[in-house]
């Protein structure tokens, strides 16, 4: 196992020293926000808070939250804390509706961004000898450029393949001897399938590591990817509003993502009461930036559901970990009064031999009744088997899904390759109720 740590001075810092660093930075950041960003100054005033009220890390709870909509309403630059001439890079979040959220970076922000990405890359086994194929989109999305600069910082070789064009990705992998792959887990699954379809043996490739992030994925998908691509697959997490990739990432233990706590202050709050929860409890992740110059963010409600792992990690890093994200609060569907997360479906699916990690939830409304249809792709093997086997599989899967979700659904089995493939993040839910 690779035991190299990119920045041991910080990644292995004793807790009391880390917390004192965090508090210093928090106080400084809040003061800067109140002086430089009228939006935060007003919000703090409305909450009856002055920067001097933040005397301990626990006082973070006194600060108002920021939501995606707040940033949208300040489109494009109103929450920037520096003049544009100090901004060296702009990115934007992948908004599906309306205007995107624009984010900016100063030169120092860029330096910190590549530093935090380098940390998780090295934690996941990357060395300067690796050849890294980045199959995230290069553009306004933070994935491509974020990973690119981190890989360069580590000193490995970057292949900036960008997203899509699966044939070419495989050609590059073969001919250039790619050892590490960077993309969404969804795309990694597709690449694995394509290798199999084209009878490309893993021994003809040099792949050994995979860094996947940008969307939720289950442990079962991790196993599928590791098997089909011959890599050790680690998870990494981030969001544009905070920095992009690099907020947290797994080490080779593959048990939770170490948070760059010297730059990002984490809280987990109850998603209904918004009160901070004790460490270890599941809730919504809320992040305050500690060092961001261009767009500092105060208590950003990520909508992502996770929990803090406080137990020490055998890798030696003292930075706490967040558990794999299990979904977003706004992914939650309410079907006939029952709360459902697409992740529950994925978890059940992959427990059964024969189901592929390609599925779609379609919700329709007839009169006042909501209907949930779950479309699941089946494997080639099962599909070519006799009808009896397929029916037995359908019955078992339907029973398992219904009891996991607590609501009746219609299960439709789809032939191999029958559902849409994604080169970036997957879209699993089609909610026809809003059409």
- The contact set with ligand DLL (CB under 6 A) reads 93-94, 136, 141-143, 213-216, 235-240, 244-245, 302, 304, 325, 328
Nearest Cα to Cα of residue 207 among 124, 95, 130, 307? 130
Nearest Cα to Cα of residue 292 among 241, 222, 359, 233? 241
d(CA 187, CA 182): 10
Q: Which residue is nearest to ligand DLL (CB)?
A: 213
Query: In terms of C-beta density within 10 A (0-12 exposed, 13-18 middle, 19 or more buried), how is residue 55 classed?
Result: exposed
d(CA 2, CA 168): 31
For residues 110 and 88, the answer to whether their CB atoms sit within 8 Å is: yes
Which lies closer to ligand DLL via its Cβ, residue 39 or residue 138? 138
CB of 383 to ligand DLL, least distance (A): 30
Which lies closer to ligand DLL via its Cβ, residue 6 or residue 136? 136
Distance in angstroms between the alpha carbons of the first and the last residue of the chain: 51
d(CA 249, CA 317): 12
CB of 221 to ligand DLL, least distance (A): 11
d(CA 134, CA 132): 6
Which lies closer to ligand DLL via its Cβ, residue 179 or residue 240? 240
CB of 25 to ligand DLL, least distance (A): 22
Helices (H), 93-136: 107-123
CB of 248 to ligand DLL, least distance (A): 8
CB of 220 to ligand DLL, least distance (A): 15
Nearest Cα to Cα of residue 326 among 305, 302, 340, 347? 305
CB of 194 to ligand DLL, least distance (A): 21
CB of 345 to ligand DLL, least distance (A): 16
157-159 and 131-134: which strand pairing? Answer: parallel
Which lies closer to ligand DLL via its Cβ, residue 284 or residue 377? 284
Cα atoms in the 13 Å half-sphere on the side-chain side of 49: 22
Q: 366 is written with which tokens?
A: 């007839």
Residues in CB range of 348: below 8 A, 6 or more apart: 397, 400, 401, 404
What are the angstrom distances between the C-alpha of 232 and each of 118, 125, 229, 319, 416? 17, 9, 9, 22, 26
CB of 58 to ligand DLL, least distance (A): 25
CB of 189 to ligand DLL, least distance (A): 15
Q: 355 is written with which tokens?
A: 């189901």
Residues in CB range of 196: below 8 A, 6 or more apart: 228
232-239 and 244-250: which strand pairing? Answer: antiparallel
Q: Per residue, what are the HEC states of 231-260?
A: CEEEEEEEECCCCEEEEEEECCCCCCEEEC
CB of 77 to ligand DLL, least distance (A): 18
């Amino acid at each position: 196992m690779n035991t190299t740590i990119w920045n041991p001075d910080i990644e292995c810092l004793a807790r009391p020293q880390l917390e004192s660093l965090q508090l210093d930075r928090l106080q400084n950041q809040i003061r800067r926000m109140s002086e430089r960003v009228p939006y935060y100054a007003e919000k703090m005033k409305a909450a009856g808070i002055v920067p001097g009220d933040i005397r301990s890390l626990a006082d973070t709870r006194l600060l108002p939250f920021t939501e995606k909509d707040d940033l949208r309403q300040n489109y494009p630059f109103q929450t920037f804390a520096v003049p544009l001439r100090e901004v060296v890079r702009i990115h934007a979040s992948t908004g599906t509706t309306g205007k995107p959220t624009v984010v900016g970076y100063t030169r120092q922000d860029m330096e910190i961004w590549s530093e935090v990405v380098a940390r998780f890359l090295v934690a996941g086994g990357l060395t300067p000898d690796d050849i890294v194929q980045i199959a995230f989109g290069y553009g306004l999305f933070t994935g491509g450029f974020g990973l690119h600069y981190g890989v360069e910082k580590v000193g490995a070789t970057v292949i900036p393949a960008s997203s899509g064009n699966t044939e070419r990705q495989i050609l590059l992998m073969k001919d250039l001897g790619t050892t590490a792959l960077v993309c969404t887990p969804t795309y990694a699954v597709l690449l694995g399938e394509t290798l199999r379809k084209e009878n490309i043996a893993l021994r003809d490739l040099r792949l050994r590591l995979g860094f996947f992030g940008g969307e939720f994925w289950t442990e079962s998908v991790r196993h599928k990817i590791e098997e089909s691509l011959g890599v050790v697959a680690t998870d990494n997490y981030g969001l544009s509003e905070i920095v992009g990739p690099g907020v947290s990432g797994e080490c080779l233990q593959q048990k939770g993502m170490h948070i760059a706590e010297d730059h990002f202050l984490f809280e987990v709050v109850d998603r209904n009461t918004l009160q901070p929860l004790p460490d270890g409890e599941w809730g919504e992740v809320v992040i305050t930036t500690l060092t961001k110059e261009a767009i500092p963010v105060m208590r950003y409600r990520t909508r992502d559901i996770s929990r803090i792992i406080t137990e020490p990690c055998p890798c030696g890093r003292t930075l706490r970990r967040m558990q794999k994200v299990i979904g977003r609060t706004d992914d939650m569907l309410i079907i006939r009064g029952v709360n459902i997360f697409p992740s529950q479906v994925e978890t059940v699916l992959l427990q059964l031999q024969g189901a592929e990690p390609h599925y779609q939830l379609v919700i329709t409304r007839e009169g006042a009744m909501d209907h949930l249809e779950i479309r699941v792709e089946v494997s080639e093997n099962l599909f070519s088997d006799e009808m009896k086997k397929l029916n037995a599989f359908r019955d078992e899967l339907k029973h398992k899904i219904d009891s996991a979700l607590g609501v009746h659904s219609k299960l439709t089995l789809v032939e191999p390759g029958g559902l849409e493939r994604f080169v970036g993040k997957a879209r699993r839910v089609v909610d026809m109720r809003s059409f």
